[in-house]
């Protein structure tokens, strides 16, 4: 990649070409992940949708192909809640290298009760954080094979008001769905920043970038039937909110910039320009609580233990460990 000084100002509507690149977007069949995939497809890259629902993935691919001429898009079965299935999912990519992965997929539960993965991990923490943590391990050999790959982790503005309880990461003692979701996204952001520090220490060619979409509402999102439907009434009712927040198509912009912009680096957060809620993506200071490297290190160790990942192998892309 060329230096940041030699690149033109970033324009969300005029993305650079990425012909020959291969990008994986987890949860690329819906929401922000869909729009990340649609926008990246317009660059000439091959975009792979990681989805646990083949029918929804097919609908998303059809929608992208209807809007992007000659889109190179395909899908792989990917269930982040099923850790033992991840090596096979990575093998099914069928590529020799991966230029970027966008860790976007997520589970959000609006109401109790607390649910768990097959391994017994709380569902939101187990999917949103532990699943992506383990997936990064399995993908690292492919990422390391690319000249300058990116791991782009999509956090949440909701994580700004949360704090991790390292003694109750899986919300066994105190489960409240919205807070548990926010903490799972906070854990992802801690992971992305800690991964950046460890990759830099190892002099890796892989970059880790943390982004968040700001305030992204369905009602402000353009229709993409059957992936996303929006009525005229819903659009009109949501119009006043557009002063503060945006649709999911715009919520995708920070992740897309994290993948494509050679000037983006780790160690900061990338989010919307206006109050961190809407607008074009820009760099912002790491939130104060995310700057605590001791919390990040303890979370890293706990995540290795819960997923069975060898911490040295995660960075080096070494021998596969047994997920549990």
| Residues labelled catalytic | 181
DSSP character string of 267-306 = SSEEEEEETTTEEEEEEEPPPGGGG-HHHHHHHHHHHHHH
298: exposed, middle or buried (Cβ count in 10 Å: 0-12, 13-18, 19+): middle
Please tell me the distance from the alpha carbon of residue 315 to that of residue 14, in angstroms, as a whole number: 33
Q: How many CB atoms lie within 10 A of CB 84?
A: 13
Is residue 73 within 8 Å of residue 65, measured between CB atoms?
yes
By DSSP bridging, strand 150-154 and strand 22-26 are unpaired
Tokens describing residue 37: 């995939």
Q: In what order do the strands lie in the sheet with 46-51?
A: 72-77, 46-51, 22-26, 100-103, 150-154, 207-211, 269-274, 278-284
């Amino acid at each position: 990649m060329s230096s940041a000084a030699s690149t033109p100002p970033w324009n969300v509507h005029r993305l650079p070409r990425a012909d020959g690149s291969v990008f994986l977007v987890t949860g690329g069949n819906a929401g922000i992940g869909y729009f990340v995939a649609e926008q990246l497809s317009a660059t000439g890259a091959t975009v792979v949708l990681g989805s646990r629902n083949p029918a929804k993935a097919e609908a998303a691919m059809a929608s992208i192909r209807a809007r992007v001429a000659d889109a190179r898009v395909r899908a792989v079965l990917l269930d982040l809640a099923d850790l033992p299935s991840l090596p096979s999912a990575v093998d099914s990519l069928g590529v020799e290298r991966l230029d970027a992965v966008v860790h976007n997929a997520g589970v959000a539960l609006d109401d109790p009760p607390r649910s768990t993965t097959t391994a017994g991990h709380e569902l939101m923490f187990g999917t949103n954080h532990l699943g992506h943590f383990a997936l990064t391990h399995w993908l690292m050999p492919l990422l390391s094979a690319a000249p300058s790959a990116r791991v782009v982790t999509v956090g949440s503005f909701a994580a700004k008001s949360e704090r991790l309880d390292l003694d109750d990461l899986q919300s066994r003692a105190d489960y409240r769905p919205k807070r548990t979701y926010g903490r799972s996204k906070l854990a992802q952001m801690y992971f992305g920043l800690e991964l950046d520090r460890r990759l830099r220490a190892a002099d890796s060619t892989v970059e880790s970038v943390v982004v968040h979409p700001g305030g992204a509402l369905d009602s402000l999102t353009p229709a993409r039937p059957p992936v996303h439907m929006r009525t005229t009434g819903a659009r009109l009712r949501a119009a006043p909110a557009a002063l503060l927040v945006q649709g999911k198509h715009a919520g995708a912009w920070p992740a897309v910039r994290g993948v494509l912009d050679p000037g983006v680096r780790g160690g900061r957060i990338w989010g919307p320009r206006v109050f961190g809620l809407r607008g074009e993506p820009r760099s912002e200071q790491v939130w104060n609580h995310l700057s605590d490297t001791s919390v990040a290190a303890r979370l890293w160790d706990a995540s290795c233990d819960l997923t069975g990942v060898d911490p040295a192998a995660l960075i080096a892309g070494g021998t596969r460990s047994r997920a549990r």
